[in-house]
Amino acid sequence: MTQIGIGVIGAGYMGKLHSVAMQAVGAVFDTPLRPVCEMLCATTEAGAAEKARQFGFKRSTADWRALVADPAVEAIVIASPQVTHREIALAAIAAGKPVLCEKPMGTSVAESLEMTEAAEKAGVVNMVGFNYVRTPATQFARQLIQNGVIGDITWFRGEHTEDFYADPEALATWRTRGRANGTMGDLSSHMINAAMALAGPIESLCADVGTVQAERPNAQGEMEAVTNDDHAQCLCRFKSGVMGHLYFSRVSTGRKMGYAYEISGSKGAIRFDQEDQNAIWLYKMEGAESERGFRKILTNTDHPDYVNFCLGPGHGTGYQDQLIIEAKDFLNAIHSGQSQWPTFRDGMEVNKVIDAVWASYERAGWANVD
């Protein structure tokens, strides 16, 4: 067992989740590398010190450059806003330190490509934080597809839908300002990543993007223009020839975590909904027609990574557990010296799809991803 010093940049929602994951992963998975929460970075010295105390870090700073340069910090988790990812990642790579970067990577394909090429040239282990695809159920779905259980994929439908801005009176914040903070810059990358993981690369698409609420009240009680998108959809064609449809929304009333997909195949089908993340629905084209139907399978110890959390079938895993699985994958990548999926290059491919959605919308027609 070898210790490794971890530095986390960002002490907000995702920063806390990554910090908790690093505290728990060694006990859950008995990893050969055992993380030591060495330093936490937040926007102010006082805030960083308080969060470091909460999350169990030895030290804190308000200067991410100090964290990257610190010799006791041997691997870095970037959990700060998307606009900061490029600069931090390039500095960490230049220092030869493995990087786990939250999604989406850069604010553009150009930034993501720069990060990807720098990491590959330096031979630095890199990973992007697509946590939802790591649930035992979705890992099992990938296995079913790879093993040919549902035959050849013929159609894919995916969505990432939430309702945190469904209320017209919800306040304008940083989330309603700037393209990078809209639904395409926030939610879409998770389902695009899932679509590519389950059905393969996307070749072309035809998209529409919209803002449902053009104005929202701000904290001062004034109406403020919303400068980014509330929802988007696209028809897509995968490189395999499979047809598909993707939808992303932060105004889907009633949906709290609608990361859901349906996959039709020549021998069966799969359905999944993140709001019921410990179950997958499987249809097999077998037996008498009168006995056919979707079968609900509860995750259990035969499914990937489940047994490390619980020995009871159907007891389930939660959102934090996805981050613990991600931390395990990151540590194993560092231990082996080989980056594990999804790498920076995989994250860049997601950014290419996002750019194609905007290109398609702006020209009101089909766009090629490449």
Answer whether residue 317 shows pLDDT above 70: yes
Q: Are 4 and 97 in contact (CB under 8 A)?
A: no
Listing from the earlier edge strand, what are the strands of the sheet with 202-210? Answer: 295-298, 279-284, 268-273, 258-265, 153-161, 243-249, 231-238, 202-210, 366-368
- Whole-model pTM: value is 0.95
Question: DSSP secondary-structure letter at 360?
Answer: H
Predicted confidence at residue 79, as pLDDT, reads 97
CA nearest neighbour of 329 among 72, 88, 131, 146: 131
Answer whether residue 1 shows pLDDT above 70: no
Task: List pLDDT tens digits, range 256-294.
Answer: 999 999 999 999 999 999 999 999 999 999 999 999 999
CA nearest neighbour of 311 among 320, 302, 323: 302
Question: How far is Cα of residue 113 from the mean position of the Cα atoms in its chain?
Answer: 18
Residue 253: pLDDT band (50, 70, 90) is very high
Residue 364: pLDDT band (50, 70, 90) is very high
The C-alpha atoms of residue 254 and residue 258 are separated, in whole angstroms, by: 9
* Domains with residue ranges and CATH for the chain: 2-131 (3.40.50.720), 136-276+278-317+349-363 (3.30.360.10)
Q: Are 304 and 140 in contact (CB under 8 A)?
A: yes
Predicted confidence at residue 252, as pLDDT, reads 98
Q: What is the share, in percent, of the chain residues with pLDDT greater than 70?
A: 100
Question: DSSP secondary-structure letter at 165?
Answer: T
SS3 201: coil
Residue 296: pLDDT band (50, 70, 90) is very high
Task: List pLDDT tens digits, range 323-353.
Answer: 999 999 999 999 999 999 999 999 999 999 9
Helical segments of 6-97, H only: 13-29, 45-55, 64-69, 85-94
CA nearest neighbour of 129 among 333, 370, 303: 333
Q: Which is higher by pLDDT, 105 or 128?
A: 128
Q: Residue 246: phi, psi to the nearest 5?
A: -125, 140
Residues 330-366 as b/e (b if ≥16 CB within 10 A, e otherwise) read bbbbbeeeebbebbbbbbbbbbbbbbbbbbbbeeeeb
Q: Which two tokens stand for residue 102?
A: 């939250």
Task: List pLDDT tens digits, range 219-237.
Answer: 999 999 999 999 999 999 9
Predicted confidence at residue 180, as pLDDT, reads 87
CA dist 367 to 157, 363, 370, Å?
19, 9, 9
Question: DSSP secondary-structure letter at 239?
Answer: T
Predicted confidence at residue 69, as pLDDT, reads 98
